[in-house]
Amino acid sequence: MYKETKKRTLIKTILWRAIATLNSFLVLCINLNNNLKSAIVMNITGFFIYYVFERIFNKITWGKYEKS
């Protein structure tokens, strides 16, 4: 089992917020003309983007160490 350093968690958080903000911006640029529809699309796309983000970030070993 691995544990993350605080620095890794901070970098991961900053990267995720940047990606989530970009997702929101792109969805809103489509101009769906409906706030509820935009919120639903953002959450659905955010779900899949976060899943891919986590899978990719788990392959990065920087900032991970073996829990003793």
Please write the tens of the pLDDT for every residue from 1-28: 889 999 999 999 999 999 999 999 988 8
Tokens at residue 24, please? 């929101």
* Residue 67 maps to a domain: no
Q: Is 58 exposed, middle or buried (0-12, 13-18, 19+ CB in 10 A)?
A: exposed
Number of domains the chain is built from: 1
Share of the chain above pLDDT 70, in %: 100
- 63 φ/ψ angles, rounded to the nearest 5 degrees: 85, 5
Q: What is the pTM of this model?
A: 0.78
- Residue 59 pLDDT class (50, 70, 90 cuts): very high
Length of the chain, please?
A: 68
* Residue 66 maps to a domain: no
Q: Residue 42's domain spans which residues?
A: 2-59
pLDDT at 32 over 80: no
Left if phi > 0, otherwise alpha if psi is -120 to 50, otherwise beta: which for 59? alpha
pLDDT at 13 (0 to 100) = 96
- 25 φ/ψ angles, rounded to the nearest 5 degrees: -60, -45
